[in-house]
Structure 1
Amino acid sequence: MPNHTITRATQKNADGHITNVICNSAKLGLIPQREYFDKDIANSDNISGYYIIRQNDFVYNPRKSSDAPYGPISSYKYAEDGIVSPLYLCFHAKDEINPLYYEWYFRSSAWHRYIYMSGDSGARHDRVSIKDDTFFAMPINLPSEQEQSKIASFLQSLDERIAAQEKLVASLKKYKRGVIKTIFDTLTPVSKSSIGKMATMFSGGTPRSDIVEYYNGSIPFIRSGEIHNDFTELHLSQIGLDNSSAKMVRKGDLLYALYGATSGEVDISKIDGAINQAILCIRTNEISSEYLALWLEINKNNILSKMLQGGQGNLSGELVKSLVVPIYSKTEEQVIVRIGNSINKLIDANTNMLYMLNKAKESLLQQIFI
């Protein structure tokens, strides 16, 4: 049945009097373009055809992304009127609808199936193709106004709790860096040595993805984004391991991420498993793995700023070998590790809590808006 709870917003910025251009980001929602890009992209010559949006209006950006597989639908929070590209669909909820309830509805995946079933065939792979009238005919089940308010209020409170937990985890990590750095700055090392002289190192590889028999086995396949985990998304078979450059690591080995967004991330492996080429395994002999992991973590920014290759965000085994690490007495090293481990326990406990809160939110969003 037609959706009578939303009205399309079609007023255009005909005289160009509004210059507050708004972007619709899957992660950040609707924000002023000047905040997103640190400058204005649109100019006064091309904004007369833009749609005007006001506080609590909604904007649909049909561009797909990993964060929004059917494109984001975001609510406009600012008091100042804004304008958006005519490539977007704009609408607002009628007066009897709690706009915060609608915001949460569109943050769920409840509407995805309608888009999937109603979208046009032959669509571009990066953009949803759906006729405007079809989109605005989307049926949405609405509870009473009182229930809308309760649902929206509860989910908002949960979101605020998650934000507070994220802040706590970030604060604990910052506290850890501060404490360990102070210790490093206070103590006097007995000597210094390069990692290459104190450790053996190797990286792995990736089995061919087109050979099904190489996967779905019992060997955890650790990728760079998973070095902090005690589980992996992919598993290799023994034949996949034997017929590739993937290498086995042991629980307790130091794993160091070399490539891309995870460059410089470090942790002690929590499992036995195979690694790919984006991970360097470092097995120490003169110092403990826990101590080296702490030193690499605390010095991550310095290492990346000095040693990244060609602006690509990638490290290499040769570069890591050349890093010079301070060596303290065994007693002092053990104290540093013990303090780091005690803070890590707090970080792990609160990170697990954050994970559970996010899973609870994900589950609730799937159950509430059926």
Structure 2
Amino acid sequence: ASCLSSLDELIAAHKDKLDALKDHKKGLLQNLFPQEGETVPKLRFPEFEEDGEWIYKRLGETGKIITGKTPSTKDASLWNGEILFITPTDIDENQKYQLVTNRTIVRNRKLNILPEGSIAYTCIASIGKMSITAKESVTNQQINSIVVNANYHNEFIYYSLLHITPFIKSRPATSTLPIVNKTEFSAFRIAVPKPQEQQKIASCLSSLDELIMAQAEKIEQLKMHKKGLMQGLFPSAV
């Protein structure tokens, strides 16, 4: 019993550390990006302090916006191919990159395929769930995606979206089901600095995300260890 209690305490301590890392990330998102209507962030890396104001851009100016579409589920020949098919349930909010999906589809000319590095953002129901494509992908109609232009850093755009998601969610609902259509999504504004500063901010937040992922994995490993220990201590009756 004392062994299990010690393990529970260790799991709780690691959960506290995970919560602290997530809180730190929230704070950085508030301070590394300008607040609505402002043109400089509260916190800026020293090498960029003289770079002047950030410029507001609509999301539609940062890349091509694509609304997904589900291929016919009645046609089996369209499914089980090499292209990932992303739905909101496939998106894990603890994983920035979309590595796997429950279903895949076969490549064909009718598909609007997202290249690697695109941002898939849920705009119906679970608004704000998003990921970056790790390989060629297609999404369902609940998702609007951004194929980011070459002069913007895709991870910076990802974190900018994370920063403005509370604002997007706070808009007055026009129906019982929360929806952001393509036109509305394209019109949302984000503040953008020069490419070098975009890269620096993205790298900073990416490093923190790696720590968060590693901490979450530690907790899962400890939970699995506890499960195995309990099965050994309390074998089920045959």
Decide which moves more: 271-280 or 304-313: 304-313
**8 Å contact kept, 1:255–1:282:** yes
Instruction: Count how many residue pairs are aligned between Structure 1 and Structure 2.
Output: 214
Greater relative contact order (Cα < 8 A, sep 6+):
2
Report the equivalent of 2:30: 181
Report the Cα distance in structure 1 between the residues aligned to 2:15 and 2:144, rounded to whole angstroms. 29
SS at match of 2:177: coil
Distance 1:191 1:214 in 2: 43
State the identity as a percent. Answer: 22
Q: Quick one: which amino acid aligns to residue 236 of structure 1?
A: I
Deviations 1:128-161 (A, max 9, x none): xxxxxxxxxxxxxxxxxxxxx57xx63x655554
Scaled by the length of structure 2, the TM-score of the pair is 0.74
2:47 equivalent in structure 1: none
User: In the superposition, relative to structure 1, how do residues 330 and 307 fare at CA in structure 2: closer, same or farther (>3 Å)?
Assistant: farther
Contact 1:247 1:275 in 2 (8 A): no
Report the Cα distance in structure 1 between the residues aligned to 2:10 and 2:76, rounded to whole angstroms.
43
Distance 1:271 1:354 in 2: 28
Cα distance change, pair 325–353 in 1 and its aligned pair in 2 (3 A): same
Matched residue SS, 1:315: coil
Deviations 1:48-88 (A, max 9, x none): xxxxxxxxxxxxxxxxxxxxxxxxxxxxxxxxxxxxxxxxx
Which runs of 5 or more structure 1 residues have no equivalent in the other structure? Answer: 1-148
Change (3 A) 1:309 1:360: farther
2:56 to 184, 192, 197: 192
Instruction: Kindly indicate whether the alpha-carbon contact (under 8 Å) linking 1:247 and 1:276 is maintained by their aligned counterparts in 2.
Output: no
The structure having more radius of gyration, on CA atoms, is 1
Residue 231 of structure 1, aligned match among 100, 119, 124: 100
SS in 2 for 1:299: helix
The 5 Å alignment of 1:63-102 reads: none
Q: Deviations over 1:212-254 (max 9, x none)?
A: 333333332222233334222222234xx667xx542222112
CA distance in 2, matches of 1:303, 1:338: 25
For residues 83 and 231 of structure 2, what CA distance do their matches in structure 1 show? 32
The CA RMSD over aligned residues, in Å, is: 2.9
The equivalent position to 1:344 in structure 2, one of 195, 201, 209, is 209
Structure 2 residue corresponding to 1:319, chosen from 175, 184, 200 = 184
Query: Are the structure 2 counterparts of residues 288 and 213 from structure 1 closer, same or farther at C-alpha, using a change threshold of 3 Å?
Result: same
Paired residue for 1:89?
Answer: none
Please, which runs of 5 or more residues in structure 2 have no aligned partner? 34-40, 45-51
Distance 1:363 1:280 in 2: 42
Q: Hey, what does 1:270 align to over in structure 2?
A: 134
1:79-117 C-alpha deviation (Å, 9 max, x unpaired):
xxxxxxxxxxxxxxxxxxxxxxxxxxxxxxxxxxxxxxx
Residue 323 of structure 1: CA displacement?
A: 0.8
Which residue in the other structure is 1:248 paired with?
A: 113
Q: Tell me the distance in 1 between the aligned counterparts of 2:123 and 2:231.
A: 36
Offset of residue 309 of structure 1 = 4.3
- Which residue matches 2:236? 369
